Amino acid sequence: MNLITLKNKNAQEVASLLDIKERNSLVEMFSTLGLPHKMTEEYHYFDVKKLLDVEYKTLNYVPKSIEEGDKIEIVDGVVTKAPKGLRVYSEVSENVDMEHFDALYYLGHLLSPRVIKIEVDGDTHVEILHKYTQSDALIHYRVEISNQANRHVTMYENFETEEIKNTLVLYGYDMNIAQDSTLRMVRLQTMSGNAYSMVSSHKITVAKNASVVLKNFDFGGDQALQVLKVELGEHAHVDAGHLLYLNDDSKRGTASQIIHRGEHSTSKQVAKNILDGQARGIFDALIRVEKTAKFTKAEQNSKSILLHKKAYMASKPQLEIYIDELEASHGATTGQLDEKQLFYLQSRGISHLEARKILVIAFANTLIETVKDTRHQERIKNAFEEVFYASNKG
Amino acid sequence: MSTVMKIENLEAKIGDKQILKGLNLELEPGKVHAIMGPNGAGKSTLSKAIVGHYDIEVLGGDITFKGKSILEMEPEERALEGIFLSFQHPVEIPGVNNAYFLRTALNAKRKHQGKEELNAAEFLREMKSHLADLGMKSDMISRSLNEGFSGGEKKRNEILQMLILEPEVIILDEIDSGLDIDALRQVSEGINKMKDGKRTFLVITHYSRILDYIEPDYIHVLKDGKVIKTAGAELVPYLEEHGYDGIKED
């Protein structure tokens, strides 16, 4: 399959090319938004054409019997393992946002009408491991997560590959965070060596008095874009932290929309970006405050460090506000490591490479240390150090 | 006189301005050398040149440490060899835990010396007595490096590093600036604790106040990028009375 064939096609043509006989409203949404290209705002800094204009191998998504395991394992888009007591199953989804801004959100739903549903009961920790084993493949799947009211869930999302190359992964979550509940999602993704590229397109709905905490740790190379839409109800809260450490000629980042719909809703979005080599980081983030969202508090900040003269950061924090009764702030800074600080560390016998690492870690630490579980905090630090040392060999 | 460090005809500039203009100085092992001089004489430039600061471009001359030129060495190599600068204005580094920094620096030194690195518990044991001696609260090492420290706390933290790293040549750049009497006494006690007849001190100062606490063996007067006079401690009262203008070049 070559996705570029969907370019500039009307709904009927899209339905025919994808061999879809139902779900007309989704086809309409996809063809109205159109296949993303360079001028599509959220894909402007991301080389999406390079990913779409490729002949990919298509896979068969046959649900397997799910073995018991200590985590949820999704291999090439199919669930293979899940912890006992957790409801994980595959079903045709009716829960699709009909106002999403991302065409690939709809393409994902069109390609994957059956979604992986995860129902989390009680206060718990869940790990989701995504494994990719196929080269030159288009791997597409969608995951729907729901929790219960008044419950607190932490999810750790990790990625693994076998020795693969040139695969494209399209996946994403539709999350419904129930009233008075909390969901924390800690996502760690290290990519390298052209194994796979990814566009993940999510929709998160946060109900009244609920809270979602999203911590993304994206390290290494390759191409990946996280497209995120969050809708906040009354007194709902989102705390989104994005840490990027990129090297080589990677292009990765986040394009997001946080929409305040309910009164007294609050959002905090912090991005810390460290760009090495010829990497390009993306933080294209909009916070929109609707007329219904009086007394909103919204805070958005992006800080970037460029470790190489060819590195580039596209930081675009934006506020779109339709009311007066709110508190909102946003800002973005980009700079280099501080020479005085580097020298101070070196003057105590610490090597230039180690001093750079200490300062970069210090910059990143404020986000890494927001992960409460010290074991996972350590895991993230180790993943960071592994990538940092690989691209900064003495 | 045996020398641990020899500075010969050193010329150096910062930006477009030449500051050091043929400076000669020899440091005797185990002695306290005080460098005094008016503003702009080149005192801080000299200290920066010794530790390899990025601001400084050496135009000519040489600095040898234990018989070996150090001009081509990186700042960290000079530090590992045993040269230490206590900064006039120590930089703040938010996010870098002070204890982690101190242990990293100590372990870099130990590794250089072929010794085993210390784990966190061993390191903290090592620290305890130093903290007490310097009147430092134990929470200071769990804070970010120098962040939000008062002037006195920053200088104490510099001396703490000196005590831990045990360098051979110690440059104290305006160590007394920003210190009240009590802090000055504690900092001086920390410095005097290091005086063992082997370590060499280069005390850079505007004023003679610090020399009441750290007794110098030699006074070198620096003016217009050169050492113009070298004498014993008896020069201090003369300088207080007559100022630098009263000094005639040797």
Q: Which residues contact A167 (CB under 8 A, 6 or more apart)?
A: A56, A132, A134, A135, A136, A137, A138, A139, A195, A196, A197
* CA B115 distance to own-chain centroid: 25
CA of B53 vs chain A CAs: smallest distance (Å): 7
**Could you tell me the sign of the dihedral formed by the alpha carbons of A307, A309, A314, A315, in that order?**
positive
Residues in B closer than 8 angstroms to A361, CB to CB, are 95
The answer to whether A234 and A209 have CB atoms below 8 angstroms apart is yes
pLDDT of residue B250 exceeding 80: no
pLDDT category at B240 given cuts 50, 70, 90 is confident
Which of A336, A344, A370 to mutate: most B Cβ within 10 Å? A344
pLDDT at A278: 94
Mean pLDDT of A281-310: 96
- CB-CB neighbors (< 8 A) of B53 in chain A: 343
Place of tokens 């610490």: A350
Residue of B nearest to A357 (CA): B96
- Tell me whether A66 touches chain B (CB under 8 Å): no
Q: Which residue of A has its CA nearest to B109?
A: A349
Q: Tell me the C-alpha to C-alpha distance, in Å, between residue A4 and each of A100, A201, A255.
A: 21, 18, 21
Instruction: Give the Cα separation of A55 and A136 in Å (integer).
Output: 8
Answer yes or no: are the C-beta atoms of A83 and A69 closer than 8 Å: yes
Nearest CA in chain A to B92: A341
| Across B83-105, average pLDDT | 93
Contacts of A348 in chain B (CB under 8 A): 76, 79, 101, 105, 108, 161, 165
Closest by alpha carbon to B153, among B236, B66, B92?
A: B92
CB B155 within 8 A of CB B118: no
User: 10 Å Cβ neighbour count for A17?
Assistant: 13
- C-beta atoms surrounding A175 within 10 Å: 23
d(CA B37, CA B41): 6
Confidence grade of residue A187 (pLDDT, cut at 50, 70, 90)? very high
Cβ-Cβ contacts under 8 Å between A and B: the total is: 66
Residue B246 has pLDDT above 80, yes or no: no
What is residue A301's predicted lDDT score, i.e. its pLDDT?
94
Between helix B151-165 and helix B181-193 the angle, nearest 10°, is: 10
Inspect the interface and report whether the beta carbons of A359 and B75 lie closer than 8 Å: no
Q: Does the pTM exceed 0.95?
A: no
State how far residue B210 is from chain A, nearest Cα, in angstroms.
24
Is pLDDT of B84 > 60?
yes
Statement: residue A181 has pLDDT above 90: yes
Name the residue ranges covered by the structural domains of chain B. Answer: 5-95+167-246
Using CA atoms of B51, B55, B61, B67 in order, give the dihedral in degrees to the nearest 10. 10
Tokens 């401690």 sit on residue: B233
AA letter at A52: L
pLDDT score recorded for residue B54: 94
DSSP per-residue string spanning A273-327: EEE-TT-EEEEEEEEEE-TT-TTEEEEEEEEEEESSTT-EEEEEEEEEE--SSEE
Residue range B140-166: average pLDDT? 89
pLDDT reported for residue B39: 87
Question: Bigger pLDDT: B210 or A106?
Answer: A106
Residue A22 has a pLDDT of: 82
- Are A244 and A36 spatial neighbours (Cβ–Cβ below 8 Å)? no
CB contact under 8 A, B165 and A351: no
Question: Using 50, 70 and 90 to split pLDDT, how confident is the model at B14?
Answer: very high
C-beta of residue A181 within 8 angstroms of C-beta of residue A149? yes
Average pLDDT over residues B209-228: 91
pLDDT, tens only, A72-82: 999 999 999 99
From chain A, the residues in CB contact with B144 under 8 A are 362
Residue contact B93–A347, C-beta within 8 A: no
* pLDDT confidence of residue A260: 98
Judged by a CB distance cut-off of 8 A, whether residue B87 touches chain A is yes
Task: Count helices and strands (H / E) in chain A.
Answer: 7, 21
pLDDT for B191 equals 84
Neighbours of A369 (CB within 10 A): 13
* pLDDT band per the 50, 70, 90 thresholds, residue B248: confident
A94: part of which helix (H) or strand (E)?
A: none
Of the candidate ranges A87-91, A273-277, B139-143, the one whose mean pLDDT is the lowest: B139-143
Residue A311 DSSP symbol:
-
Chain B contact for A104 (CB, 8 A cutoff)? no
**Dist CA A317 CA A311 (whole Å):** 19
Mean pLDDT for the stretch of residues A332-355: 95
Is pLDDT above 80 for A393? no
For residues A372-378, average pLDDT? 91
Name the least confident of A126-135, A330-339, B141-150.
B141-150
Please tell me the predicted confidence (pLDDT) of residue A394. 54
Strand partners, B185: none
Answer with the residue of higher pLDDT: B134 or A160.
Answer: A160
Rg from Cα positions in chain B:
18
The encoded tokens of residue A217 equal 């740790």
The structure tokens listed for B94 are 């938010």
A352–B74 C-beta distance less than 8 A: yes
Kindly state whether B120 is in contact with chain A, defined as any CB-CB distance less than 8 angstroms: no
> Residue B167: what pLDDT?
95
For the stretch B25-54, pLDDT in tens is 999 999 999 999 988 899 999 999 999 999
Q: What is the percentage of chain A residues whose pLDDT exceeds 90?
A: 86
Chain B residues with beta carbon closer than 8 angstroms to that of A370: none
Backbone angles phi, psi at A108, to 5 degrees: -55, -45
Neighbours of A6 (CB within 10 A): 20
User: How many Å lie between the alpha carbon of A355 and the closest alpha carbon of chain B?
Assistant: 10
More confident residue, B247 or A332: A332
- Is B91 in CB contact (< 8 Å) with chain A? yes
- Judge whether A366 is closer than 8 Å to chain B, CB to CB: yes
What are the chain A neighbours of B96 within 8 Å (beta carbons)? 358-359, 362
Q: Quickly count: other Cβ atoms within 10 Å of residue A26's Cβ.
A: 22
Q: Among residues B66, B126, B138, which one has the least CA distance to residue B98?
A: B138
Report chain A's mean pLDDT, rounded to a whole number.
Answer: 94
Q: Is B113 on the interface with A (CB under 8 A)?
A: no
Interface of A with B in 340-359 (CB under 8 A): 340-341, 343-352, 354-355, 358-359
Nearest CB partner across the interface for A358, out of B74, B94, B104: B104
C-alpha closest to that of B59 among B15, B28, B110, B5? B15
Cβ pair A361:B161 closer than 8 A: no
Q: CA–CA distance from A229 to each of A170, A206, A238, B13, B190 (Å)?
A: 16, 11, 11, 56, 58
Q: What pLDDT score was predicted for residue B6?
A: 97
Task: Tell me if chain B has a CB within 8 Å of the CB of A55.
Answer: no
Confidence band (pLDDT; 50, 70, 90) for A252?
Answer: very high
The two three-digit tokens of residue B71, written as one number: 């001009």
Nearest by CB to residue B96, choosing from A343, A349, A362, is A362
Residue whose C-alpha is closest to residue B37's, from B182, B183, B208: B208
Decide if A339 and B54 are in contact by the 8 Å CB cutoff.
yes
3-state class (DSSP) for residue A370? coil
Share of chain A above pLDDT 70, in %: 99
Residue with the two structure tokens 């070559």:
A2
> What homologous superfamily is domain B5-95+167-246 in, according to CATH?
P-loop containing nucleotide triphosphate hydrolases (3.40.50.300)
Rounded-to-integer distance, Cα B38 and Cα A366, Å: 44
User: Looking at residue B139, what is its pLDDT?
Assistant: 82
